[in-house]
Copies of this chain bind each other. A is one copy, B any other.
Amino acid sequence: METVRIALMGAGTVGSALAELLPGHRARFAALGLEVELARVLVRDPSKSRPGIPAGLLTDNPEGFLDDVDVLVEVAGGTTLAGDLVLQALEMGLPVVTANKALLAERWDELRPHAEEGNLYYEASVMAGTPILGALQSLWGNQTLEMHGIVNGTCSYLIRRMEEGASYDEAFQEAKSLGYLEADPNLDVGGIDSAHKICVLGRLTVDPGLSWEKVMHRTRGIQHLTPELLQKARAEGYAIKLVASLFPEQGEWVAAVRPVRLPESHPLVTLGSGRNALVYKGDPVGPLVFAGAGAGGGVTASAVLGDLYRALLGLPGHQPVPSAAPVPAQAAEPFEEV
């Protein structure tokens, strides 16, 4: 039996859920000759108790955090300390599993060579447990035409509550008290979380060098939406949704995030309520639809654990598309921006 030692960065909802999932997989790891254990857990406040994690493993000291471990799992978020530790681990040759879409989107130039070598595993970074990265990696035989997703559940919640008549501020306060909002709520309502995600997906499908700055430049949030606007759209047979899209425009790939009007029969509407959903269109495959839960500690941890299996079995991580795809002439689905 080979012992595998995990350095876990972050013990919030996802980190705690992962720690709680691991014991249930002990027998399956044992069947592979592996005993998986948490070596240490890096947190901001080691005095706070964390479900499923022995207090003795908690530390707030990044020095020596990676000593004698076999893999880094990073579910802390943020682009500074998390990014530095992820890069340190990768440079040491450790596989890294991360759920951190902000880091992937914003520090890609540093991460990309390691991703191309197959050392970076990030299924959990987009649509949480819905295995969209695994799916998109199988589509390189297509000419990608366009891709549209609802990838931020918090915005979907706010929009639904406003459709039911709540004001933006009421809906926002509800989401806050339910724990749905990021520490910086602008990540959600400003569309930035969605922008991070479409940026990650774009690099897996059309351009391994897709620029985060360009995506940010085309990102708008939902702060200007009102119950009146949403209800008027519904009365006309449309639903307004915050959609992250990738499409061709004047010979370039564009990734953009903005609220759009969708016909109520569109799969992003029929499937998207209370879950994430994504439509991919390629030639020759045609339209594909993926949907599932896009948030939640356990849901996200399931994708982290799936990546951990792959890392421990020596299977490669998530590879960006190997070369930039041609930009099609076809116009994108003509959504009306709101």
Chain A interfacial positions (CB closer than 8 Å to B): 17, 21, 24-25, 27-28, 31-32, 118, 123, 129-143, 267, 270-271, 282, 284-293, 296, 298-299, 301-310, 313, 315-316, 319, 322-326
Given contacts A21-B284, A286-B299, 19 further A-B contacts (CB under 8 A): A25-B141, A31-B324, A32-B322, A32-B323, A129-B141, A129-B288, A131-B135, A131-B288, A134-B136, A134-B137, A138-B306, A140-B309, A141-B304, A141-B306, A141-B308, A142-B302, A288-B290, A289-B292, A313-B319
* In-complex Cβ contact of A141 among B301, B324, B325 (8 A): B301
Hey, which chain B residues are within 8 Å of A285, CB to CB? 129-130, 292-293, 298-299, 302-303
A117 to chain B, nearest CB (A): 11
- The answer to whether residues A306 and B139 also contact, given A28-B323, A286-B293, A299-B284 and a CB cut-off of 8 A, is yes
Please state if B288 and A139 are interface contacts (CB–CB under 8 Å): no
A2 to chain B, nearest CB (A): 14
Hey, which chain B residues are within 8 Å of A25, CB to CB? 141
Mind listing 13 A-B residue pairs with CB under 8 Å?
A31-B324, A32-B322, A118-B315, A129-B286, A132-B135, A134-B138, A139-B302, A140-B309, A141-B307, A141-B309, A271-B289, A284-B298, A285-B302
Please report the C-alpha to C-alpha distance between residue A21 and residue B143 in the assembled complex, in whole angstroms.
10
A268 to chain B, nearest CB (A): 12
* In-complex Cβ contact of A292 among B136, B286, B296 (8 A): B286
Hey, which chain B residues are within 8 Å of A315, CB to CB? 118, 316, 319
Residue of B with least CB distance to A27: B326
Q: How many copies does the complex hold?
A: 2
A-B pairs, top 3 by smallest CB distance, nearest first, are A141-B305, A284-B298, A131-B138
Interface residues of A, dominant DSSP: mixed
Please state if A291 and B292 are interface contacts (CB–CB under 8 Å): no
Hey, which chain B residues are within 8 Å of A313, CB to CB? 319, 322
Please state if B292 and A287 are interface contacts (CB–CB under 8 Å): yes
Please report the C-alpha to C-alpha distance between residue A324 and residue B28 in the assembled complex, in whole angstroms.
7
Please report the C-alpha to C-alpha distance between residue A322 and residue B130 in the assembled complex, in whole angstroms.
20
* In-complex Cβ contact of A309 among B24, B129, B322 (8 A): B322
A308 to chain B, nearest CB (A): 7
Hey, which chain B residues are within 8 Å of A322, CB to CB? 28, 31-32, 309, 313
